[in-house]
Copies of this chain bind each other. A is one copy, B any other.
Amino acid sequence: MLSLSARIRTDIERRIVSGEWQAGHRIPFEHELTAQYACSRMTVNKALSALASTGLIVRRRKAGSFVAPQPGEQALMEIQDFAEEAARRGLPYHHQILRRQVEKLDTLRARAWNLKRACTVLHVECLHFIDAIPMAYEDRIIVIPMAPGVLDETFAQTPPGTWLLRSVPWTEAEHVLYARSADAALAALLAIPEAAACLVLERRTWYLGKMVTDVRISYPGERHRLVGRFSRTANAT
């Protein structure tokens, strides 16, 4: 049993994550929702304030409330976009697609990718360069039905991670971080000595409980650091 304000909030949330209301879409005014749900303005305000505090919407006096432009990742989630990172540092970025093919995963191989069932996926490998130096090797599968349009995308212009962030909604994610020594193949790709230490980030993303993508990104240990910031001060009002 949800409270009315919680129901209003989840109703709006669902429309946003489903893509029905895209970034920039204007949410009904408080007085409209008041009429729609037959409740007082305070109840609506509580729902919208909660959404604003999570960053899902932004509110402007006189203008209204709008779906926030960025799906708004948090902390360590932000590290994904290499092009953006390079731009911040004023360095040129490019990427290179090493593989892009549809694969049928049998049960065994599916399990290796943390999928429960056999499945048809798009398998992509990609190298990321910042200032012409290889900064990361990305090995990724994308569950095709979860990413409509992915088969029309070559990733020539936009690397797969960036494309997915822009095109596919997600609700849950998991990161796993560990260090390993580069094998010969990885060392060659990243132009580092064999057995050099690498930082490996595995990221799995779901939408409403269904796997969207599973990616393993390997960074040369000496060239990359992941940074996360935390604050315990509440971020309201």
Q: Which positions in A face B, CB cutoff 8 Å?
A: 2-3, 5-6, 9, 13, 17, 42, 50-51, 54, 56, 71-72, 74-77, 170-181, 195-200, 219, 221-222, 224-234, 236-237
Determine the chain B residues whose CB is within 8 A of the CB of A3 once the complex forms: 237
- Whether the Cβ atoms of B237 and A5 lie closer than 8 Å is yes
Could you name 7 residue pairs across A and B whose Cβ atoms are closer than 8 Å? Answer: A54-B234, A171-B231, A175-B228, A177-B177, A177-B227, A179-B197, A195-B195
Determine the chain B residues whose CB is within 8 A of the CB of A229 once the complex forms: 172-175
Q: Which residue of B lies closest to A77 (CB)?
A: B230
Min CB gap A187→B, angstroms: 12
Q: Which residue of B lies closest to A9 (CB)?
A: B234
- Whether the Cβ atoms of B237 and A174 lie closer than 8 Å is no
Bound-complex Cα distance A51 to B236 (A): 10
- Give the contacting residue for A179; candidates B171, B219, B227, B237; CB below 8 A: B219
- Whether the Cβ atoms of B177 and A222 lie closer than 8 Å is no
- Whether the Cβ atoms of B17 and A228 lie closer than 8 Å is no
- Whether the Cβ atoms of B227 and A176 lie closer than 8 Å is yes
- Whether the Cβ atoms of B13 and A233 lie closer than 8 Å is yes
Min CB gap A195→B, angstroms: 6
- Whether the Cβ atoms of A17 and B54 lie closer than 8 Å is no
Determine the chain B residues whose CB is within 8 A of the CB of A236 once the complex forms: 6, 9, 50
Given contacts A171-B231, A233-B171, A237-B3, whether A181 and B199 have CB atoms under 8 Å apart is: no
Bound-complex Cα distance A227 to B200 (A): 12
Determine the chain B residues whose CB is within 8 A of the CB of A197 once the complex forms: 179-181, 196-198, 221
Determine the chain B residues whose CB is within 8 A of the CB of A171 once the complex forms: 231-233
Determine the chain B residues whose CB is within 8 A of the CB of A200 once the complex forms: 179
- Whether the Cβ atoms of A176 and B233 lie closer than 8 Å is no
Given contacts A178-B199, A180-B221, A199-B179, whether A172 and B231 have CB atoms under 8 Å apart is: yes
Min CB gap A224→B, angstroms: 7
Q: Which residue of B lies closest to A76 (CB)?
A: B228
Bound-complex Cα distance A2 to B237 (A): 7
Bound-complex Cα distance A72 to B198 (A): 31
Min CB gap A146→B, angstroms: 16
